[in-house]
Amino acid sequence: MSAPVKENPVNKYLRMERMPSIWCPGCGIGTTVNCFARALDESKIPLDNLAVVSGIGCTGRVAGYLNVDSFHTTHGRAIPFATGLQLARPDLKVVVYSGDGDLSAIGGNHFIHAARRNADLLVVMVNNFTYGMTGGQVTPTTFRPAIASTTPYGAFEQTFNMPMLADSCGAVYVARWTAYHVKQLAKSMAEAINKRGFRFIEIAAPCPTLYLRRNKLGEGLDEMKFYKEKSVIRNGVDTREVALDYRKEITVGKFVDRERPTLEDAMDQRYKEALGAKYVPYVSPGAAKSQA
């Protein structure tokens, strides 16, 4: 019995020659990438106009698997790299794709400022509640009292509510989903990619090898069942009410969707007002293709 095999529609968005990925079986990162590929399909944005920037860590490898112009930068600094790239190339859509350790710990300052200045970036944060690449250490999103290799007796710090942080700094789009919500996540990504300004999507995702195993929470599939059971969709809810807690209800949905001038718009507007006709606007090097 050999039914004709149709090519997976997401393949063209991936560097198939680089498969298999480094991600463990049951890891949620690949699921989010699948959603991202479907979002690209749905949003119809020209792939040549898309650049993806990652930091370091398991999610930091996403950029390298996507079949677009991609940049794998330093730990925590994907956002300022992307801000520089976007300012130099306003004709590109720039997406930052990284993990909770990368974006909320070492890169936390850049996250705050990019949201404040409304840098024209979509920031996708896969939150697996641990540093996977280095062996499962505590992150600013690890719940009390979860076990991590550097909190062997349980985490004891308050966690970041990242949607609230993004919202309070001025992000124009804030959503949270889990790796279980593949349809909603893909739709949210497609919606966010076509918006301008600082957009933030957090995705709770299983790390079976480290976080789940150390905390005796089962396999990746068990965590997906947990997400299904515990998630409550509350679109438009105040982000002060969406903090996560250990094994408690997970508030998901689109929390913020508003308009605000982007960094680039505000910069141009100020120069126009201050300098009038003397202002010489920046011309993107993208106007001339590399092949002269």
The length of the chain, given as a count of residues: 292
Rounded to a whole number of angstroms, the minimum distance from the CB of residue 113 to other proteins is 4
Distance (Å, whole) CA 193 – CA 36 = 10
Q: How far is it, in rounded angstroms, from Cα 68 to Cα 49? A: 8
**CB-nearer residue toward other proteins: 205 or 263:** 263
Q: What angle do CA 3, 7, 13 make, to 5 degrees?
A: 165
> Binding mask 14-33 vs other proteins (x if CB under 8 A, - otherwise)?
-x--x---------------
Smaller CB separation from other proteins, 65 or 180: 65
Number of residues lying near other proteins (CB under 8 A): 54
Cis peptide bond prior to 285, omega within 30° of 0: no
Q: Does 169 bind other proteins (CB under 8 A)?
A: no
Q: Which member of 6, 44, 216, 278 binds other proteins (CB under 8 A)? A: 278
Q: Is 53 in the site for other proteins (CB under 8 A)?
A: yes
Angle at 243 between CA 219 and CA 216, to 5 degrees: 20
Nearer to other proteins among residue 171 and residue 244 (C-beta) = 171
Q: Is 85 in the site for other proteins (CB under 8 A)?
A: yes
- 3-class SS of residue 106: helix
Q: Considering only 45-53, 125-133, 176-184, 195-203, which stretch makes contact with other proteins by CB under 8 A?
A: 45-53
Of the residues 21, 43, 74, 150, which one makes contact with other proteins according to CB under 8 A:
74
In angstroms, rounded to a whole number, what is the distance separating the alpha carbons of residues 240 and 148? 26
- Nearer to other proteins among residue 20 and residue 281 (C-beta): 281
By CB under 8 A, tell whether 113 contacts other proteins.
yes
CA angle 174, 139, 170 (to 5 degrees): 25
CA distances from 199 to 177, 210, 246, 267 (A): 14, 29, 26, 19
d(CA 29, CA 190): 17
* Cβ atoms of residues 148 and 142 within 8 Å: yes
Q: What gap in Å lies between CA 159 and CA 173, rounded to an integer?
A: 21
Pick the binder of other proteins from 39, 82, 148, 174 (CB under 8 A).
82
* 159 contributes a contact to other proteins by CB under 8 A: no
Asked whether position 10 contacts other proteins by CB under 8 A, the answer is no
Nearer to other proteins, 49 or 194 (CB): 49
Contact residues: other proteins, CB under 8 A: 15, 18, 47-49, 51, 53, 63-64, 67-74, 76-77, 79-89, 91-92, 109-110, 112-113, 263, 267, 271, 274-275, 278-286, 289-292
